[in-house]
A and B are shown apart, each in its own frame.
Chain A
């Protein structure tokens, strides 16, 4: 039986238990790294660097986690700030990384090639500003509510709704040819 996040977090907070934190990392590393790949145009190396930075910051500031949100949501908030800081400090992003080989152990029998869809979606997201990219990812892929996204990104609810509504329409155009492998 797996230990609840809250119990693991308590062990980290109260005892500095690194094994408990390692368990949390193992629990969420795939989703976090995947999300950061989506935000970085599927740049696996950059995404992993940002994920590491996120988790190290989470460990160092875990006493600030008050349990008002899910641990996963709190982690995403840190990841968003790491992502924004990177965007502000670096050169413009490059296009999609080619040749990266991720594993599809949970869905090896999907029809078509889901890997291409994930990469194409990440490439499409590159066309949006970072804030809108994050809002679209959290809404369309992580199914966060608009209010959850507004809280996480610390921006007005109306802005989030606008980001998602307009972004959705544009994505529909950009991904219209996906089933033929063509994105615009």
Chain B
């Protein structure tokens, strides 16, 4: 079992970057 603090730290450091993929364009179109 991993230490819970290490797990949370891993969550923060490995957060994926979600590519825009047209998201901004969709928002701005509205």
Residues of A within 8 A of B (CB): 18, 21-22, 25-26, 29-31, 33-34, 48, 51-52, 55-56, 102-107, 110, 114-115, 117-118, 121, 140-141, 143, 168, 171-172, 175-179
Contacts and interface: CB of A to CB of B under 8 A. Distances in A.
B17 A118 contact: no
Main secondary structure of the interface of A (DSSP, over half): helix
A170 B13 CA distance: 22
A55 B3 CA distance: 36
9 contacts: A34-B15, A51-B23, A56-B30, A107-B13, A110-B14, A141-B12, A176-B1, A178-B1, A179-B2
Contacts of B27: 22, 25, 29, 52, 55-56
Contacts of B15: 31, 34, 106-107, 118, 141
Contact of B18 (A33, A55, A56, A143): A33
Interface string B1-30: 110100110111111111110011011101
A26 B17 CA distance: 12
Nearest to B19: A103
B16 A103 contact: yes
Contacts of B11: 117-118, 121, 140-141
B16 A114 contact: yes
Contacts of A34: 15-16, 18
Nearest to B15: A34
A141 B7 CA distance: 10
Given A141-B11, A178-B7, A104 B23 contact: no
B4 A115 contact: no
Specify which of B7, B13, B20 lies most central, judged by the most chain A CB atoms within 10 Å of its CB: B7
B21 to A, nearest CB: 9
Contact of B1 (A26, A115, A140, A179): A179
A148 to B, nearest CB: 16
